[in-house]
Amino acid sequence: MLSRRYRGKLSVWAALCVLVLCWYYIYPGYRLPSDKDIVEEVLRQGEAWQKNQTGIDLYRKLLTECCDPRRMFAVTKENSPLGKVLWYDGEFYHSHTVNNDTYPLFVQDNPLQLPLKKCAVVGNGGILRHSKCGKDIDQADFIMRCNLPPLSKEYVEDVGTRSHLVTANPSIIEKRFQNLLLSRKAFVDSMKVYGSSYIYMPAFSMKPGTDPSLRAYYALADTSSNLTMLFANPEFLRTVGKFWKARSVHARRLSTGLFLVSLALGLCEEVTAYGFWPFSVGLDEQPVSHHYYDNILPYKWFHAMPEEFVQLWHLHKSGTLRMRVGRCPPQEGGRPQRHRIVSRHKSGEGYRKITAALKVPMSTVVSSIHEWKKFGNTRTLPRAGRPSGEKGLSQGGDQEPDGHFVRAPAYLCRERRTFQKEQPSLQQSTNQACMVEWPDGSQLLSKRHMAAHLEFAKMHLKDSQTMRNKILWSDETKIELFGVNA
């Protein structure tokens, strides 16, 4: 009796120790710069960016060597013939052998027209809200999005309308579309917004994800949809995970976003990433919602993003890819026009003359010159604080489309920038729907989950298959909560 109690206590302590060890592995404190440092670094860098062909070529080469995205990113008839064993990358000892049921579902070969020129990878971070990046994104030649994001009217200005490849987590099929066991119409209808994109599903990552993925395939195929289903190749997911692990993105599941960026770096001539900002406060010190379309937070203690962000930021700084973390510069007309106005003003022309010569409204001339006077020399101008009138300026965005852009560097480059107590604290938040969804079997957290799975398996060995599926499903939902995607 007594000894049983001690044994019970012992196992509690053992469990606690394991927990603490896991905690330190996941939050190794020393490895990451603090949020504040990261944000300050981003502010220091400002809008400056220069393409670096050496870096682009280098990363394409590295990714081709490790992961061969051209050939391997999807499951194809060519790389997965009948009888091929696909090992689930998010499970322990689970595999699917390609058979007569699944083989016909695969595309023949990599369907993408390579090389892709300008690619946009769009994360779902709240930083996109009010970013006005829609046009910028839509101008790319190939647009990748994460986890069936909403593209309805109210978001168009910020996220654009076009897409070419959209990922879909199997769990979304379960949660949003009743696993496609009832009507499939809602699913098919909601997919129309993605035009004739590729839907990229990790069908062979977690065992419970396979059936919903296949059902999604049939739902699209049966309605002769213009969308093409591609199944993510688990081997590719695993090798990409290893690639980043070697570059100090450890101990966590890789995010869908990082997978897509890796894919883009391997396939595209130029990559721009939008909506990647894993902090709860934006560059303008305003709170940032978790997604651009909602603010449902993931499990608090699971933060993979800052680490990934740091890696992406390194790539941005070296010119290998471009990260858009603030507002996008206004389209055609804004900046060049302002330059013309200012240069005429400098050479002594009056407002009226400039208005007539450039055929622009007087208000634009006035605001351009006003802004120039105020922030003209922004890059070297140390500014201790924001003048009270500055807020009003930003509202003149319609008249002077360049306003935001001009203002941004001034603010970005402000010296002695500190985060004071009264400012919102910079908590890490995982505000990218794209993040942490696809498990990587090689990482500790997965091991933890594997242990959990094993435990589940033991506990429910006697249950019926349906019962087990249900439990595994809810377990996957938990995993997914870490990454959030609904």
Ligand X SMILES: *[C@@H]1O[C@H](CO)[C@@H](O)[C@H](O)[C@H]1NC(C)=O
Catalog residues that contact ligand X under the rule CB under 6 A: 52, 54-55, 58, 100, 192, 225-226, 318-319
The nearer residue to ligand X, 107 or 450, going by C-beta atoms, is 107
Q: Pick between residue 65 and residue 285 the one whose CB is nearest to ligand X.
A: 65
- The separation between the first and the last C-alpha atoms of the chain, rounded to the nearest angstrom, is 48
Q: Which residues pair with 144 in a beta bridge?
A: 121, 165
Q: Between residues 100 and 420, which has the closer beta carbon with respect to ligand X?
A: 100
Q: How near is the Cβ of 101 to ligand X at its closest, in Å?
A: 9
**Rounded distance, CA 179 to CA 456, Å?**
22
Residue of 199, 258, 208 lying closest to 443 (CA atoms): 258
**Cβ nearer to ligand X, comparing 95 with 226:** 226
Using the Cα atoms of residue 326, residue 327, residue 331 and residue 335 in order, give the sign of their dihedral: negative
Nearer to ligand X, 57 or 455 (CB): 57
In the complex, minimum distance from the CB of residue 58 to ligand X, in angstroms, rounded to a whole number: 5
Closest distance of CB 77 from ligand X, Å: 13
Structure tokens belonging to residue 367? 């605001």
C-alpha angle 233-190-153 in degrees, rounded to nearest 5: 115
Per DSSP, which regions of 265-345 are E strands? 268-274, 322-324
Buried b / exposed e along 110-137 (16+ C-beta atoms within 10 A): bebeeebeebbbbbbbbbbbebbbbebb
Give 139 or 225: the residue with its C-beta nearer to ligand X. Answer: 225
Nearer to ligand X, 62 or 444 (CB): 62
C-alpha 262/C-alpha 483 separation (Å) is 18
Q: Which is nearer to ligand X, 61 or 346 (CB)?
A: 61
Q: Smallest gap, in angstroms, from Cβ of residue 158 to ligand X?
A: 25
155 within 8 A of 293, measured Cβ to Cβ: yes
Find how far residue 408's CA is from the centre of its chain.
23
CA separation for the pair 67, 378 (Å, rounded): 44
**Residue of closest CB approach to ligand X:** 55
Q: How far apart are CA 354 and CA 441, in angstroms?
A: 64
- For residues 277 and 260, what is the distance between their CA atoms, to the nearest angstrom? 15
3-state secondary structure of 261: helix
What is the nearest approach in angstroms of ligand X to the Cβ of residue 108?
16
Q: Which of 79, 102, 93 is nearest to 210 (CA)?
A: 102
Q: Which is nearer to ligand X, 226 or 425 (CB)?
A: 226
Q: Minimum CB separation from ligand X for residue 111, in Å?
A: 16
Q: CB 357 → ligand X: shortest distance, Å?
A: 40
- CA dist 384 and 382 (Å) reads 7
Q: How far is the CB of 227 from ligand X (least distance, A)?
A: 8
**Beta carbon nearer to ligand X, 111 or 424:** 111
C-alpha 65/C-alpha 410 separation (Å) is: 42
In the block, tokens 């309605």 appear at 223
Identify the three-state secondary structure at position 461. coil
Q: Least distance in Å: CB of 425 to ligand X? A: 33
Minimum Å distance from CB 107 to ligand X? 18
What sign for the dihedral angle of Cα 142, 205, 77, 244? positive
